[in-house]
Amino acid sequence: MIAFIIRRLLAMIPTLFFVSIATFVIIQLPPGDFLTSLQALAASSGSGADKAAMDNLRHQYGLDQPKWVRYVKWVSGFPRGDFGYSFEWKRPVRELIADRLELTILLSLLSLVLMWVVAIPVGIYSATHQYSGTDNLLTALAFLGLSVPDFLLGLVYVFIGLFIFHASVTGLFSPRLVDASWSLGKVLDLSNHLFWPALILALAGMTQLIRILRGSMLEVVGQQFVRTARAKGLSEQVVIHKHAVKVAINPLVSVMGMQLPQLISGATILGIVLSLPTTGPMFIRALTSQDMYLAGTFLLFLALMLMVGNLIADVALAWIDPRIRYQ
């Protein structure tokens, strides 16, 4: 098992190297740099930009160096935890992104947990009550859940929360508690502000998991070991929960790796809609203002999150189903 994990970790290194190159190329794509967009802004507001001062700044930020030199400089800082400097915020990237990445991970994990907690019992119920009214209703809901994008759900949530319940739905805290010191009320407020976004984020994946578990349960229930278990006189409860579910759950674990990108994508865009202090809002701002190291580091970390998540999914699958490990 350990050897398997180490092998997978080693395989990540070259991919990570190529990912860092790709990231750098992407953030270099826009014509000009942060200073030209700053200059354009200054020009539009009427204040003329001083050419000499700009050149000076460009030199100071290292923007006058060849691209590969800048790439090597950027990457070589990684082991020290140095991810470059944000032009716009005038602070090291590392200080800026730490909190936001944490919250993104927290939100993603929360919705992952929600997904599983809801999907497993519902999927089992759907399979054991195939074609019942509830099952058909769940099937219809599942397709609906797959069809409504999470940012739209976010908008609808804002609309309902803000104008029907007159509750605070955006950000992490209600306005009256933002500056308050930590108390039970504030913790409850925070969890309320995280729960709904996590649920919205989880919805699409949840419906997918329910469908997969239902299908895989139906397949497993027809197999001989289940019949044997029944023939032994085990109760239906034990047959389903101890025998069938254990086998039927494998596809769910393997699909987890496929759901992570959706989750991270969703967390980014939902963060923007609900103005949560996740990576989303700062990332999009960094992209439009060409704050390249900030944008690049965000992109890099989002990719890293995905890769680590996939690794965990693979390890979980190998742990549950040892046959996988040797393939």
Partner 1 sequence: MSVFEKPAAAAAGGVPAVTAAAPAAGRIGVTRRQLIWRRFIRSRAAVIGGLVVVGFYVVALFANFLAPYGVDQRFIEYLYVPPQGLHLDVRTGLYVYGVQQTVNPETLLTTFTIDRSRRVPLRFFVRGDSYPVLGLFTSDLHLFGARVAGMGAFFLGTDRQGRDMLSRILIGSQMSLTIGLVGVLLSLIIGSALGVVSGYYGGRVDEVVQRLIEVIRSFPAIPLWMALTAALPQHWPPERVYFAITVILSVIGWTWLARQLRGKVLALREEEFVTAARVMGANDGRIIFKHLLPQVFGHIVVIATLAMPGMILAETALSFLNLGLRPPLTSWGVLLQEAQNLESLRNYPWLLIPAGFISMVVLAFNFFGDGLRDAADPYSA
Under the rule (CB under 8 A), what is the footprint of partner 1?
A: 14-15, 18-19, 22, 26-27, 29-31, 143-144, 146-149, 151-152, 155-156, 158-159, 162-163, 170, 260-262, 264-266, 268-269, 272, 279, 283-284, 287-288, 295, 298-299, 302-303, 305-307
Q: How far is the CB of 42 from partner 1 (least distance, A)?
A: 16
The H or E element spanning position 91 is strand 91-92
Q: How far is the CB of 28 from partner 1 (least distance, A)?
A: 9
Q: How far is the CB of 173 from partner 1 (least distance, A)?
A: 17
Q: How far is the CB of 283 from partner 1 (least distance, A)?
A: 7
Token pair listed for 183:
């108390």
From the centroid of its chain, how far is CA 188? 23
Token pair listed for 146:
């797959």
Q: Which residue has the tokens 């019992």?
A: 121
SS3 percent helix, strand, coil of the chain, rounded to 5, is 80, 0, 20
Q: Which is nearer to partner 1, 174 or 279 (CB)?
A: 279
Token pair listed for 197:
């976004």
Q: Which is nearer to partner 1, 20 or 239 (CB)?
A: 20
Q: Which is nearer to partner 1, 156 or 187 (CB)?
A: 156
Q: How far is the CB of 259 from partner 1 (least distance, A)?
A: 11
User: 92: helix, coil or strand?
Assistant: strand
Report yes or no: 298 and 287 within 8 Å, Cβ to Cβ. Answer: no
Q: State the Cα–Cα distance between residues 108 and 304, nearest whole angstrom.
A: 14
Burial of 220 by CB count in 10 Å (0-12 exposed, 13-18 middle, 19+ buried)?
A: buried
Q: Which is nearer to partner 1, 1 or 144 (CB)?
A: 144
Q: How far is the CB of 138 from partner 1 (least distance, A)?
A: 14
Q: Which is nearer to partner 1, 239 or 290 (CB)?
A: 290
Q: Which is nearer to partner 1, 110 or 287 (CB)?
A: 287
Token pair listed for 72:
């090597």
